[in-house]
Structure 1
């Protein structure tokens, strides 16, 4: 009787864990709902924002990040690999979008990178971002080159759909005719600002 009770309890516990994993996996494969007053930004739009300033010798890559978003946390390793590969040619910045308070140092510690950290929520609206994680790539004149997802997989492991990397390579090669699929441009992840 005791063994049957323990066995039943373990089955229930593993079933619950399996259900939670399955539920979270399904939730983060669904597109993020578009906000009611959302204003899309077209490729080529000039992005004007005080936080960016106007003196750039390199293109700018904005990583929109929420420390409480599981998708943002899954994406950290991939983002760090992009900084390592392109950091000498691209100006990388992390834009923190969270209702909680963080310091630049705490965010830099999370990434293990000494890159600029911005807390300007108006950047998200200016770039047409409404979920995290999202990548925004601006050319040297601050025109929008790419706004979208990093990859189709949660852990950013599919090189064929490494959209942010494709955009980085395209901008560096001055390709102005890159076309991205809906999977690249439709937002997936956590809604802003509270990671629901």
Structure 2
């Protein structure tokens, strides 16, 4: 008689503890990795951005990726950036990365070709990341802004591919001020 009562109680206890553990795991995952998409417009204004002295002037097209390791918006962006590197790196396009000051992290293996920058004059005024700045072969800022607009970033909605293709074709591009809605994290603390 005792075992008839104890066995269902043990089963109920195990199920209750399991449900509590699953609920805790779910809420922890949700709090850490799922962020609501913020439809706030962000103005990317690049008038103060400059290449460091050792990179200024004529040279290859220079693409600078602004990276905050803690930003959850990097997930889709980093795959797209890896595709850009594989598509354009052998076409006189140099890829560089500026990590958010004070942050810690390591780029994924598909982005090890990006050369790190210690600093970039004017980057302290960067509104958000992920973002990109592109300088033409003469060293003029051609584009500053997000990789794309919207919740995800890929080649079909990218601003970067058309700009790089135009620059490679020798056409002038001047788009250093961009207003976009997307997944961004504030650059300044």
Tell me the TM-score normalised to structure 2 length: 0.69
Structure 1: unaligned runs, 5 residues or longer: none
The alpha-carbon deviation at position 81 of structure 1 amounts to 1.4
Match of 2:148 in 1: 151
Give the count of matched residue pairs: 176
How far apart are the structure 2 equivalents of 1:188 and 1:52? Answer: 32
CA RMSD across the alignment: 3.7
Q: Which of the residues 101, 105, 110 maps onto 1:98?
A: 101
Q: 1:5 to 1:187 in 2, by over 3 A?
A: closer
* Pairing partner for 2:165 from 169, 174, 194: 169
Give 1 or 2: higher helix fraction: 1
The equivalent of 1:134 in structure 2 is 131
Bigger proportion of residues as strand: 2
Larger Rg: 2
Q: How far apart, CA to CA, are the structure 1 residues paired with 2:151 and 2:184? A: 9
Quickly say closer, same or farther: Cα 1:117–1:123, change in 2 above 3 A: farther
Alignment TM-score, normalising by the size of structure 1: 0.67
1:24 maps to which of 34, 51, 60: 34
CA displacement, residues 96-138 of structure 1 (integer Å, 9 cap, x when unaligned): 2231467xxx65x75552342102053414xx63222101111
